[in-house]
């Protein structure tokens, strides 16, 4: 005679407590911690994106030295463009903003623009009292404080400068592309006029007092030195 094994009904086993919970599911406290962590990360990334660190004051530096050339001459440029010298140009200034270009038409001539400042703009309250920005080969400035109301000071002591370089000088190109905001640069070369296909013209300003279209310096740099304050 064989004893049949006892059959257990599926309902005979231990039943879950009405107060049990899924250990894998986050508790309300865990959810709050995760939310707080996410908010902190987003806030930090936003701060890193919008925060502009202060610039060390230096100088003040004198106004750029400019002189008409005795005779205009052509200097080396990209194929299809004629680059002619208008004035010798020598400037020591602080770099307030840097913008590199690689896809607009001017990038074949000028890979980078510098916002250069001299005179009172490299000292407080101006050096960190003005916010500079660049876009589409223009630069813009805005006071951070209502105490800095005379924007003629900014217009007369800063310049959006399109940097052109000799195509056969990779060392100079590396130096220029290594410049960062806040650096002090000493640049020598020429203000130039550029002529290209289909009537293309890019003419440098020859005064530091103008504003608006055509007021930027088109600067063919032949010598550069950089220092970090």
27 and 84 co-located in one domain = no
Q: Is residue 79 domain-shared with residue 190, that is, in the same domain?
A: yes
- Tokens 């049990």, residue? 20
Whether residue 197 sits in one domain with residue 134: yes
pLDDT at 185 over 50: yes
E-strand stretches of the chain: 65-68, 74-75, 82-100, 112-117, 130-135, 138-143, 158-164, 184-196, 200-203, 217-227
- Whether 217 is in a domain gets the answer yes
- The mean pLDDT value for 6-24 works out to 54
Task: Return d(Cα 82, Cα 197) in angstroms, integer.
Answer: 10
The verdict on 41 and 83 lying in the same domain is no
Q: How confident is the model at residue 98 (pLDDT cuts 50, 70, 90)?
A: very high
Q: What is the per-residue pLDDT for 48?
A: 46
User: What's the mean pLDDT in 78-99?
Assistant: 97
Mean pLDDT across 142-147: 90
pLDDT of residue 8: 47
Q: 84 and 136 in one domain?
A: yes
Q: Are residues 133 and 193 in the same domain?
A: yes
- Give the mean pLDDT of 25-29: 67
The predicted pLDDT at position 166 comes to 97
Q: Where on the phi/psi map is residue 89: left (φ > 0), alpha (ψ -120 to 50), or beta?
A: beta
> Would you say residue 153 lies in a domain?
yes
Is pLDDT of 218 > 80? yes
- pLDDT band for position 14 (50/70/90)? low
In a domain, 78, yes or no: yes
Domain residue limits at 33: 22-51
- How many C-beta neighbours within 10 Å does residue 162 have? 23
With contact defined as beta carbons under 8 Å apart, do 55 and 164 qualify? no
% of the chain surpassing 70 pLDDT: 83
How many domains does the chain contain in total? 2
Task: Please indicate, yes or no, whether residues 205 and 107 belong to a single structural domain of this protein.
Answer: yes
State CA 112 to chain mean position distance: 10
Whether residue 197 is found in the same domain as residue 120: yes
On whether both 143 and 206 belong to a single domain, the answer is yes
Same-domain status, 35 and 116: no
């Amino acid at each position: 005679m064989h004893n049949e094994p006892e059959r257990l009904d599926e309902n005979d086993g231990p039943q879950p407590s009405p107060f049990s919970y899924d250990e894998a599911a986050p508790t309300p406290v865990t959810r709050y911690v995760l939310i707080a962590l996410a908010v902190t990360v987003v806030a930090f990334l936003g701060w890193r994106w919008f925060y502009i660190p202060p610039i060390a004051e230096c100088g003040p530096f004198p106004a750029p030295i400019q002189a008409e050339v005795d005779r205009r001459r052509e200097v080396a440029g990209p194929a299809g463009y004629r680059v002619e010298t208008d004035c010798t140009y020598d400037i020591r200034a602080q770099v307030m903003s840097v913008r590199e270009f690689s896809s607009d038409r001017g990038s074949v001539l000028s890979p980078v623009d510098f916002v250069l400042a001299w005179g009172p703009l490299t000292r407080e309250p101006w050096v960190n009292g003005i916010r500079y920005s660049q876009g589409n080969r223009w630069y813009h400035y805005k006071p951070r404080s209502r105490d800095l109301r005379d924007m003629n000071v900014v217009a007369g002591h800063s310049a959006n400068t399109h940097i052109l370089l000799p195509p056969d000088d990779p060392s100079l190109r590396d130096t220029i592309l290594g410049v960062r905001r806040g650096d002090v640069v000493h640049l020598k070369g020429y203000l130039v006029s550029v002529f290209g296909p289909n009537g293309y013209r890019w003419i440098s300003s020859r005064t530091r007092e103008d504003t608006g279209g055509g007021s930027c310096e088109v600067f063919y740099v032949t010598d550069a030195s950089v220092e970090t304050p």
